[in-house]
Chain A
Amino acid sequence: MAVSEGREERASVNIWGIGVRQVVFMALGAALYAGLSYVTNSLQLPGASNVSLRPGIVIPLFFGVVFGPIVGAFTGGIGNLINDMLTGTVYWNWDVGNAIIGLVAGLAMYNTLGRYNSTVKIIVAEFYSVIGILVGLGFAAYSDIWVSKLTFSAATTTEFIPASLPDIVLGLILLPILLGAYNAAIARTGRG
């Protein structure tokens, strides 16, 4: 791990800005999301009967809350699209849904500026993450009411709940762990 210095953070004020930093983190986030999904898909994680655990969900949440809504949206959307490219079919409304997850989680930046050095800020991050998962997967599941002609209750029971419940559990548990580690790591690089 390289020691990095106090690089100017130009986008710390404008959470919607896109500089070289954001481009690199977008790309990293998407690669991590797709990569982790790829690895865990082949691992057969233990989970409740037909619902597989998707630990990758923490990646768009983390990149959203730390680097902002644009990075979060890209991480979720493009990460999921790349995963589609690895599995063989494109469900575009789920790509959009994943983008929304990262986007909404990224709004936590308004309250935290991407620093998570207190419990309150971590709770804020968790809050936005849950909203993100609900809105994002809500969009994906309920858009299938139009795309696949499901009824509302069918979309809820076959798609929305099985998809969002485990994601919320995973996100709520793994996000603070990652934020804690990230905090310690940046304290060393002098940007804490």
Chain B
Amino acid sequence: MLINFVYIKRDSPIHRLDPRVKFTLLFAYSLSATQTSNFWFILAGFTGAIYYYRLTRLKWSETKRAWYFIIFITFILVFMNFFISGGAIVQGVDLSQPHRLFDLPFIHFTRAFPFLAPTKFPFTVESATFILTQTMRNFSIAFLAVPIPFTTNPDKFGIAFKGMGISDKISYAIDLSLRFLPTTVRDFVTTLDAQRARGFEIDKLRGGIFGKVARLAPMIVPVVIGSVVGAEDIISAMELRCFGVGKRTWLVELHTRRVDRVIITLAITGFAIVTLLNVLGYFYTTGPLHILHTQGIPAFLAP
């Protein structure tokens, strides 16, 4: 089995970005989005994230596996959340007058036998808006997260972390992990073959859950112990070539351009403004400064 990163070598504005910019954008946006459930705010973020994603020139055929996973997870989260919480809407939303659209038949727990009874589950304008907002929030974060693996060469990882102020040694350890990864995967595959040749069938593990888990040991133990014991030689190899004696230089370099600095500045400023607005929202109970604390129900849904 060959290890394949999903990285796709291509020239796009996002490929050209400094990897630190991509990480900063993801963090700044997700941390901003945590602070509000305002439909319009999230819609703006969603639109921006789609634009950003379009710039990557990634094709559906390349990314579909990741997207299937994201769609599945988002679906589960949004709907499970809706039903488990009984349609509750999280965070400071004006729920004084819910606008009920229709009722869903549902079941709820009761104290008496058979402990389950039918009930009505109100579906409101507010909960519809919330579900929409929540879906857009998850997808907008995904639109910023997916480009990181697909447009960043893993070779640049170590130096990117170094550039974010992480120490030489830890940053280098990231590069080194990527060097070990294909060897590790090869070893796991070899071990699995070796054990299959001894009648081991990983798809037909016997026993209960505990027995099954214990029967995974033949594929894990040889590789882990082998690498740990073999690490002594790697340590020697690194010491003999002076690793860790002082400040090191890096052959790989990041080309930070003005656009990178501008985006980072904008992202951090945006995050600061959102945070300020969020804090102010606690003091002003109405008006524009309270906006992040409202749901901002769009007109077409408004009753």
Among B3, B26, B91, B189: residue with most chain A CB under 10 A: B3
- Complex Cα–Cα for A27 and B176 (A): 6
**Which residues 169-187 of B sit at the A interface, judged by CB distance below 8 A?**
169-170, 172-174, 176-181, 183-185, 187
A87 near B66: Cβ-Cβ < 8 Å: yes
B4 at the interface (CB under 8 A from A): yes
CB <8 Å contact, B3 and A38: yes
- Assess whether A55 is in contact with B84, with CB atoms less than 8 Å apart: no
- A169 CB contact (under 8 Å) in B152, B210, B221, B238: B210
Q: Which of B119-127, B226-234, B257-265 sits within the interface?
A: B226-234
Chain A residue nearest in CB terms to B188? A39
Residues in chain B near residue A177, CB distance under 8 A: 214, 217, 221
Residues B145 and A89 in contact, CB atoms below 8 Å apart: yes
Residue from B80, B130, B187 whose CB has the most chain A CB atoms within 10 Å: B80
Chain A residues with CB under 8 Å of B169's CB are 18, 22-23
A158-B3 Cα distance, complex, nearest whole Å = 31
Chain B interface size band reads 35 or more
Interface contact A87-B69, CB-CB below 8 Å:
yes
Q: In the complex, A177 Cα to B219 Cα: how many Å?
A: 12
Task: Please measure, in the bound complex, the distance between the C-alpha atom of A156 and the C-alpha atom of B228, giving whole angstroms.
Answer: 36
Q: Which residues of A contact B202 (CB under 8 A)?
A: 43, 45
Partner among A22, A36, A39, A44 whose Cβ is within 8 Å of the Cβ of B203: A44
> When the two chains form their complex, are residues B220 and A18 in contact, meaning their CB atoms are under 8 A apart?
no
Binding site for A on B (CB under 8 A): 1, 3-7, 26-27, 30, 33-34, 37, 63, 65-66, 69-70, 76-77, 80-81, 84-85, 88, 90-91, 130, 133-134, 137-138, 141-142, 145-146, 148-150, 152, 154, 167, 169-170, 172-174, 176-181, 183-185, 187-189, 192, 202-203, 205, 209-210, 212-214, 216-217, 220-221, 223-235, 238-239, 243-244
Q: Which 4 A-B pairs have the closest CB atoms?
A: A88-B66, A4-B232, A27-B176, A35-B184
